[in-house]
């Protein structure tokens, strides 16, 4: 979702992949991607995750022939920081630069911002290959 008055961006990649703003009809596919990735916290908290997508100020889908093949959800102030909450690519589309396209697309919308994110051991090399650097961070829920 973008600020009021901004035109909703759409980007076509390789003529068959489109990056477009998230719509609620996309959530079942996102939920399946979360489950397939093993992100049990997001999968188990389905309604909370759905609300997170609804209320994020940057939420985009990569689709091919009407099928969701990737997604990116983030939060930004639009000037300094863009926090990438989730970046997922369908397993069949990994290694084809779709994650890189999604990141470049978002950065083109918010060129002043620095990207911040959490990475897993398996995604660390992907981000490092794009020039991201590790930094120290902390996390805590109210119940911890």
Per-residue pLDDT at 143: 86
Per-residue pLDDT at 2: 44
Per-residue pLDDT at 24: 96
Strand 58-64 with 11-13, pairing: unpaired
Per-residue pLDDT at 115: 94
Per-residue pLDDT at 142: 86
Per-residue pLDDT at 16: 84
Per-residue pLDDT at 57: 94
Exposed/middle/buried for 78, CB within 10 Å: 0-12, 13-18, 19+?
Answer: middle
Distance of CA 107 to CAs 47, 58, 74, 127, Å?
A: 28, 11, 11, 14
pLDDT tens, residue order, the chain (144 aa): 444 445 556 555 555 889 999 999 999 999 999 999 888 889 999 999 999 999 999 999 999 989 999 999 999 999 999 999 999 999 998 888 999 999 999 999 999 999 999 888 788 889 999 999 988 888 788 888
The predicted model scores a pTM of: 0.84
């Amino acid at each position: 979702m973008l600020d009021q008055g901004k035109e909703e961006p759409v980007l076509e990649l390789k003529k068959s992949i489109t990056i477009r703003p998230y719509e609620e009809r996309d959530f079942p596919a996102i939920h399946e991607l979360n489950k397939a990735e093993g992100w049990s916290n997001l999968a188990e908290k389905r309604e909370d995750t759905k609300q997170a997508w609804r209320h994020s100020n940057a939420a985009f889908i990569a689709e091919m022939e009407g099928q969701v093949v990737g997604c990116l959800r983030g939060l930004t102030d639009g000037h300094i920081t863009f926090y990438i909450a989730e970046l997922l690519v369908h397993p069949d589309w990994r290694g084809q630069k779709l994650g890189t396209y999604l990141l470049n697309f978002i950065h083109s919308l918010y060129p002043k911002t620095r990207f911040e994110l959490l990475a897993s051991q398996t995604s660390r090399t992907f981000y490092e290959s794009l020039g991201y650097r590790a930094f120290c961070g902390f996390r805590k829920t109210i119940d911890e």
